[in-house]
Structure 1
Amino acid sequence: MEITTRIGAGHGDFILFAITPPRRSTPAERLPEIARATMERLDHLDLDGLVLYDIDDERSRNPAERPFPFSPTVDPSDYRSEHLGGWRTPTIVYRAVGKYQRDELQTWLSAQDPRRTLTVLVGAASSGLAAPVSLADAQALRTELNPDLLCGGVAIPERHSRRHNEHLRLIAKQEAGCRFFVSQVVYDLNAAKNLVSDYRYECAARGLAPVPMVFTFSVCGSMKTLEFLRWLGVDVPRWIENDLRHSTDPLAASLAQAQATAVELIDFCRRLEVPIGVNVESVSIRRDEIAASVDLAARLAAHLRA
């Protein structure tokens, strides 16, 4: 069953792999080579879909110095159509709606084939930013222009830990048309469990069926990657940091920890009857961390299919 059908029916147990398109400064002649290497790297995995991120400069959200300098990337939709045409599964294309003019977003939404494309609409990095199109406007445009295009939203367990209302934000997005949610990278298992639990019982109180929750996992092979995760807003518990800092092989330790976290969260969601999907990414561009993320995806695919 394709992921479009599965999510459309409210079913979980699917696995995705997320990539960020190359930097816009990459020479055009190298783009096909990079895409080909990506598809070869992922081809053996039993994936249900690919995720393409739309990267925005998030300095307005976090004024601290970015551990890795921001560099604009190739538009994810263009990258897919021009260089990933041979990929076999549907693709979830992120859209950071604040980057686009209204007519640009209208044109893009109207042109998407709902059989091959899903989207996650992401609002501005900071509520203080004046964007040409708000998230609510973008959701309304999707409903008006291409209602069959499956639309997802962002879920942030860390925000739930601070404000205790992320489950209500998810339900508001669900009522606005979101058919699935994708989290940022999960390291704090308890935060993710609390969000799932509160969402599940609030849905029950309102007579709503929970939609698939897609939790994202990644490895961390260095303190620099850990610093970047924290800059992105990921809560990394101190005990995990200690394990990584003092391990003789932090990448292997991180891989084992991410696998254990994902397996426990998968089993927890199944027990609460919340449909779950798994998304794996590599936060780092280091080859060993990318390879470990691919290994993680293979292990989690095997658990989901068991």
Structure 2
Amino acid sequence: MKPDLTTKFSDSSRGVYLFGTTPPKQSTSEDAAAEIADKLLQRLQHVEYDGLIVYDIQDETSRIDKPRPFPYMETLDPRAYSRLIREKADKPVITYKSVSQRDKAAFIDWLDEAWNEYGVRDTVLVGSPSSEGEVQLSLNHAYAALAEHPAQFQLGGVTIAERHASKGNEHERLISKTAQGCEFFVSQAVYNAQATIDMLSSYARKCREDGVAPKRVILTFTPCGSTKTLEFMEWLGISVPEATRFRIMDAHSPLQESIRICRNNLEQILEAVMPLDIPIGLNIESLTNRKEEIDASIRLFKLLKSIVDLKLAEADL
């Protein structure tokens, strides 16, 4: 039997390597969705990965005044696309769920269906993107509902280094989310290495003070091949330092430059964080459906995985 993600996450001597994707738009037929999944998995055919992440895409226009650089389109149910990919790839899939739009009863129905009909075993719950507007179910209440549910989901949480840079308390959120059942964390896309180092260092220190082992933190990286993608990253709240933004915009090949930046950021993070005994993972995604950026995300996956594998091998010497 193949080891599941729970087993892999608990083995701190190894990295965990995931690939993030979004479901096709809602109007996509079953046959077309299957074709899209096949194309993705063909790209991953020669890549050693442990599983995939399927996101639950929300509008998020309440979070920011600027217009969305790419139009928002509703997607197929992430649970259905997760099942499709899991069956085709024979790999575990982490399914995201945005919880704020519906009440507790609807969320419990979602959990029932996710477990029994769609075979979801690993999930990341996401709260409201903004304090504005009506929230029918808070993230804390969703965690409590899931804890009471008979199904044994492996629960993950989101961590945002940018929030730590502005509020200084993201490490405390990680401790709190762990107490509410989170077994791993997935970061927002990293373009600011120092913000991530500060957050992880604070988290490791707090874990030492509390006498607990840090949970696995999966660092997300994404290539950026155009000014439009860069604008979208910043719209999503990803911190891109000014010098980094100029490097990408002024480069002969923005895509290649962004891959170099991601490699450098990962190396800086590992240099600072490996001694802190935080189990690390990688999640590579493409924020757009442009072929160039999707292909670049595969190259980025191979490169960054090789760096983490090497660092882990060196740590064992």
Q: TM-score if structure 1 supplies the norm length?
A: 0.94
Unaligned runs of 5+ in 1: none
What whole-Å deviation, never above 9, does each CA across 1:78-134 have from its counterpart, x for those lacking one? Answer: 112245422222111000011344333213324527996211000011123322222
Residue 281 (structure 2) pairs with residue 281 (structure 1): no
Distance 1:82 1:49 in 2: 13
Distance 1:154 1:230 in 2: 18
Q: Give the structure 2 partner of residue 108 of structure 1.
A: 110
Displacement of 1:136: 1.1
Residue 312 (structure 2) pairs with residue 301 (structure 1): no
After TM superposition, the structure 1 stretch with the greater mean CA deviation from structure 2, 254-263 or 192-201, is 254-263
Distance 1:179 1:216 in 2: 17
Counterpart secondary structure, 2:62: coil
Distance 1:6 1:119 in 2: 15
Cα distance, 1:183–1:227 mapped onto 2, change above 3 Å: same
Q: Give the structure 1 partner of residue 28 of structure 2.
A: 26
Q: Give the structure 1 partner of residue 76 of structure 2.
A: 74
What whole-Å deviation, never above 9, does each CA across 1:191-249 have from its counterpart, x for those lacking one? Answer: 00000001110111111211011110011111110000000001101111111122111
Unaligned runs of 5+ in 2: 311-317
Counterpart secondary structure, 2:303: helix
Cα distance, 1:146–1:181 mapped onto 2, change above 3 Å: farther
Where has structure 1 moved over 4 Å in runs of 4 or more? 8-12, 113-116
**Paired residue type of 2:191:** Y
Q: Give the structure 2 partner of residue 191 of structure 1.
A: 195
Counterpart secondary structure, 1:180: strand
Distance 2:105 2:10 in 1: 27
Distance 1:44 1:152 in 2: 27
Q: Give the structure 1 partner of residue 50 of structure 2.
A: 48
Cα distance, 1:254–1:82 mapped onto 2, change above 3 Å: closer
Counterpart secondary structure, 1:112: helix
Give the total of aligned pairs. Answer: 306
- Taking the TM superposition and a 5 Å limit, the aligned residue runs for 1:152-231 are 152-231=156-235
Percentage of identical aligned residues: 37
Asked which structure has the greater RCO (Cα within 8 Å, sep 6+), the reply is: 1
> What is the CA RMSD across the aligned residues, in angstroms?
2.0
Residue 236 (structure 2) pairs with residue 232 (structure 1): yes
Q: TM-score if structure 2 supplies the norm length?
A: 0.91
Displacement of 1:300: 1.8
